[in-house]
Every structure is written in C-alpha cells, then in structure tokens.
Structure 1
Amino acid sequence: MILQERLLEASRHFGWIRIPEILHDHAEEASKHNISYLEFLDKLLQEELAAKYERFLHTRTRLARLPFKKTLDEFDFSFQPSIDERRIRDLATLGFIEHQENLIFLGPPGVGKTHLAVALGLEAIKQRYTVYFITAHDLVQSLQTAHGNRTIAQKMRALTKPDLLIIDEIGYRKMDETAAHFFFQIVSERYEKGSLILTSNKSYGAWGEIFGDTILATAILDRLLHHSSTINIKGESYRIKEKKKAGFFRPEPAEVNNQ
C-alpha cells in the first residue's frame, strides 16, 4: 500500500489523471498474466497520453467556439453533387493551413457551407492547430463594441492569432464603414500568416455591396484570393430536404378545369 500511495503521489505531482484511475486494475492484470515491467509501464503511459489528448481536444474545441460538431463523414455528398468529395477530402489533409492559404465556400443558404467549414475546423483541432469560429454578424458586433470600448487592438490580436479563423455567413448583413475597415485589417494582418475559411451566400461580384465600397471589397478580395481555393456549391437546402421528409412541404393540388 505504501508503494501504491507513492505512485499515486507521483502521478499527482506530474499532473497525471488517468493513471491513478487504472493503476490498481493494471497492476492486478500484470501480476495475473505475468506482464513484463516495460509492457506494464507502456500500457499506463499510453492510456495517460490518450486521456491527455482527449482533454486537449475538448479544451481546444471549446475555445474554438464552433456552433456544433459535425464531421466530414456526416456530410451527405450524394445530396450535393456539385461538390467534389475528393477535393474536400484533400483539403482535409490541411495543406492549406500549413501554407497559410484561404478557403471560401460560396452558395445559397442551407447547402452545407457551415458544415464543411466546421468539419475542417475539427480536423485542424485534431492536428493541434488553433481554431476560432465566428459569424460575420457577431464579428461586426464585437468589432463595434471593441471600438467603442477602446479595446479594438486586443480584439484584432485575438482574431489574427489563431492558425485558422472561420468567418461564417458573410453577406447576410451589410457592414458599416468602421466594421468593413476592420475586416480589411483582419484580412491584411492574416495575409500569408494565417488561414481563413469564409462562407458566403453572395458571389464575389456582390461583395462591394456587402462592404459598402467596391474599392475596399476589391482590396479585400485581392488579398483573400491570392492564395486560396473557392468551392461553389449549388443545390437544394438540407433544411428544406428535411422538412420535406417530415411532410411540412406538400405538393400543390392540381387545378381542376371545370370547363
């Protein structure tokens, strides 16, 4: 018992959490099956490392502020034939993050843009990249608040620091002059330093309307598209598909010709 207490104390000293939970059972198994010392130690450490990695994933995912957890395996590529699954799987190797490149998903609402962005964000977290997710609406509000509180410098640092910044739903709300200016600064600060994933329901030709300034939109796109990939998605909304399945959308009755 004294030896076990010493081992548990050592575990607490090193910050090990899993080993104290499994030490007794693994010790009994080692004794019963004549497991070597090295194998016994390896089993303990491997379980500790696995538990540490799970805690790491949980913490990084929480800090990323992803709106949900959906993987690429959960994406229905058969429903969106306009998407090249092989290309998306290639993007999931995260070479675009390694090379500080950007990724833009364009398409109408409900076609899976956010799902794909989140799925790639989860893959990035698994590969130990730092990730942060924010909608364009929340980004504008946070920039305006930070500008008013004179904390804009800290906010800009927070948005330029992550390896991957995901900005969702660009185009659903027009940005005022101040927000558009700071958005340009974010893109400029991250240019060739960190990757962006953007989703938008607007084609690039309409971005002048989003930012209220065609010249500013051109400058933003110039930096965004220099090292980037664009995925255009065409198809029906997943949400409408699910509503149809549930019977919320019924076919219109045929008109009766009484003549």
Structure 2
Amino acid sequence: MMNNLEFNPSSTSDCISYAENSQVADESKIRVTVRAPKNKASAYSPSAKSESKGMSSKETVTLHDRLSNVCAELNWRCYEHSLQLYLEEGQEQSLNYAENVIDALEHAVMLKRVARANRLIKQSGLSEAQLETNYNPNLFSFSDNFDPQRLGELEHDENLFIRGEPGVGKTLTALQYAKRAIYEKGYSIYFAYSTELFALLRDPIRAPDLLNKVKNVRLLILDDVGHEDIYEGNTNAFYNIVAYRLNKQKSTIITSGTAVEQWASRFDDRKLFESTVTRFVSKAYLMHMTGRNLYL
C-alpha cells in the first residue's frame, strides 16, 4: 500500500536515486538544453544555486539552532523560549539531557514529515511504481546554464515545459520534481496523463471536483500533452486550468512528445488554445531533450 511507504525525509537520495557508479558514454547520453524565462535568466545556473534551507548537520549547529528548527517544524514557536530555559537549566546543573531532548524532537519532526508525505502521495495520482522509479543523472548531459543538482527544484511561481521524442526521459524527469515537491517541500501535487485527465473532465459528475483539484494543487504535472480526444469544450477546460494557475502563481509542468503546432488539432478552439500555450511558454523554463530511446 502506498500509504505505508517509508522514507528518510532528511535524505534527498531517498527521493532521487543516483547511480553514481554507472558510467555512460557521452555519445549515448540524452542531451538536455534549458532556456529560462526572461525574468529568471540565470535561476538554474550553477552560480545561482540556492543555499540549502534544510536542517544543518549536528556538527555545525548549536542546540539552540536545532531547537529553533524543530519548534518551527512542529509549530511550537510559543513553547520555544520555555524549552530553551529548560535546556539551559539542565546544562547549568550538569544534567546532560539536552541532546536527548533535541533528538526526540527531531524524531517527532521526521514522523510528521513521513505522515505528511504519505498523505500527499495518496492524493497525488502517482503510482507506487512511479514513486520507486530510479533516476540516473549519468544518462543525461545538461547544457552549461543548468545545474543538475537543482533538478527537481521549482519555486512556487515557476513553470516547466519539457519537450522531446518518446523515450528520452521526459516523464522520468518530471517525476523528480514531483518527488522533491512531496518529500522535501511538503507541497500538494497532482500528476495526470493529459489524455486521461481531459477524458475525465467530460464526466459531468467528476469534472467539478477534479477541475478544482488540478487548479489548486501547488504543483500540477500534465504528462504527454498532444494526444487528447477532440471534443467540444476541451480548449476551455485547458484554458481554465492553465490560466488560473498562472494567475495564482502555482507551478505547472507540461511534457510533450509532439510539436506545439500539432497540439492545436486536438483542441476545438485554436485561437484560445494558441494564446493559452503562448502565455504558458513565455513564463516557463523550456527543457528540450534529444537522444536515444532509453527504453529500447
């Protein structure tokens, strides 16, 4: 059962499995080029790599720092001062219980993260197989303006459009963003194959709740756009989702193996569709993947 999945939330390697010892010849690697929106031209460059905001190691922080971190995670700010006085009193009396208290609180934080992640997983649309999919960065060669260590990072108002032929790892890459959003950020996410989503949106009973969900999650992933069934109103549904999320600054990832120009034939209102896509692309990181089929 997915709600029984366990992980160590302090370790990114549990979210993204790196096969460090797997060497791949350069000519066999998938080539990945990334272009940023004009207002975020260097956000993914190595020089702009953000500092880690996670809990620092025990060797480099004080007990006060660790207490402050766990109180923030547990929403115990109102108790922080009293706990600090309690720990200081023990130290003054040479009672060495402070470390044990902090360790117990940090364990409580870990349990809270596990419970939160399992709840988010159940609501995500992700299968257990997708969550267990390993990602090997040695299979990919990234352009110089992209820091591979930041793969999977998106701020709340950032979007990503991944293009490439079938089998080059578009869905695999999108899944890394989903995993990090759940495990590291605690964000609500929803993953959907575009054909399945738009088919479900035709159901008058399920459509209202589903539309509300995909519009409001922190991260939405629409996978393999461009193969939808044509029906009256599907462009309006696409517009409602994308435009709403752009206005509310909620992150969206779209993957596609077909040219944008070909998408228009799958939607009933070409002008509305093209204006929606143009607006999304202008505000998204563009990731183009080329190379061999990883599954052949």
Match of residue 97, structure 2, among 37, 45, 51 = 37
Aligned to 1:140: 198
Letter in 1 for 2:177: L
* Structure (1/2) with the larger helix percentage: 1
Letter in 2 for 1:196: T
Q: Deviations over 1:12-33 (max 9, x none)?
A: xxxxxxxxxxxxxxxxxxxxxx
Going from structure 1 to structure 2, the CA distance change for 1:232 and 1:104 (only over 3 Å counts) comes to: same
Aligned to 1:21: none
Identical columns (%)? 24
RMSD: 2.5
Aligned to 1:46: 106
Whole-angstrom distance in 2 between the partners of 1:189 and 1:117: 21
Aligned to 1:56: 116
Q: CA deviation at 1:88?
A: 4.7
Letter in 1 for 2:245: R
In the alignment of these two chains, the number of paired residues is: 200
Going from structure 1 to structure 2, the CA distance change for 1:41 and 1:81 (only over 3 Å counts) comes to: closer
Question: Does 2:239 correspond to 1:195?
Answer: no
Q: TM-score, normalised by structure 1?
A: 0.69
Q: Which runs of 4+ in 1 moved over 4 A?
A: 82-85
Letter in 2 for 1:129: Y
- Residues 152 and 178 in structure 2, CA contact (< 8 A), matched pair in contact too: no
Larger radius of gyration: 1
- Residues 65 and 134 in structure 1, CA contact (< 8 A), matched pair in contact too: yes
Whole-angstrom distance in 1 between the partners of 2:121 and 2:283: 26
Aligned to 2:260: 204
Going from structure 1 to structure 2, the CA distance change for 1:35 and 1:111 (only over 3 Å counts) comes to: farther
Whole-angstrom distance in 2 between the partners of 1:137 and 1:106: 17
Letter in 2 for 1:235: G
Aligned to 2:60: none
- Residues 70 and 118 in structure 1, CA contact (< 8 A), matched pair in contact too: no
Aligned to 1:129: 187
Letter in 1 for 2:279: R
Whole-angstrom distance in 2 between the partners of 1:37 and 1:173: 61
Letter in 1 for 2:201: L
Going from structure 1 to structure 2, the CA distance change for 1:83 and 1:143 (only over 3 Å counts) comes to: farther
- Residues 187 and 223 in structure 1, CA contact (< 8 A), matched pair in contact too: no
* Relative contact order, higher structure (CA 8 A, sep 6+): 2
Q: CA deviation at 1:87?
A: 4.2
Aligned to 1:105: 162
- Residues 227 and 263 in structure 2, CA contact (< 8 A), matched pair in contact too: no
Going from structure 1 to structure 2, the CA distance change for 1:43 and 1:161 (only over 3 Å counts) comes to: same
Aligned to 2:282: 226
Q: CA deviation at 1:130?
A: 1.3
Q: Deviations over 1:114-146 (max 9, x none)?
A: 11111111111121221111111210121011x
Going from structure 1 to structure 2, the CA distance change for 1:107 and 1:70 (only over 3 Å counts) comes to: farther
Question: Does 2:228 correspond to 1:170?
Answer: no
Q: CA deviation at 1:186?
A: 0.7
Letter in 2 for 1:42: I
Going from structure 1 to structure 2, the CA distance change for 1:158 and 1:238 (only over 3 Å counts) comes to: same
Whole-angstrom distance in 1 between the partners of 2:227 and 2:101: 56
- Residues 242 and 276 in structure 2, CA contact (< 8 A), matched pair in contact too: yes
- Residues 199 and 229 in structure 2, CA contact (< 8 A), matched pair in contact too: no
Whole-angstrom distance in 2 between the partners of 1:88 and 1:122: 16
Whole-angstrom distance in 2 between the partners of 1:219 and 1:153: 24
Question: Does 2:212 correspond to 1:154?
Answer: no
- Residues 61 and 122 in structure 1, CA contact (< 8 A), matched pair in contact too: no
- Residues 106 and 231 in structure 1, CA contact (< 8 A), matched pair in contact too: yes
In the alignment, structure 2 segments of 5+ residues that lack a partner are 1-93
Q: Secondary structure at the match of 1:170?
A: coil
Letter in 2 for 1:105: I
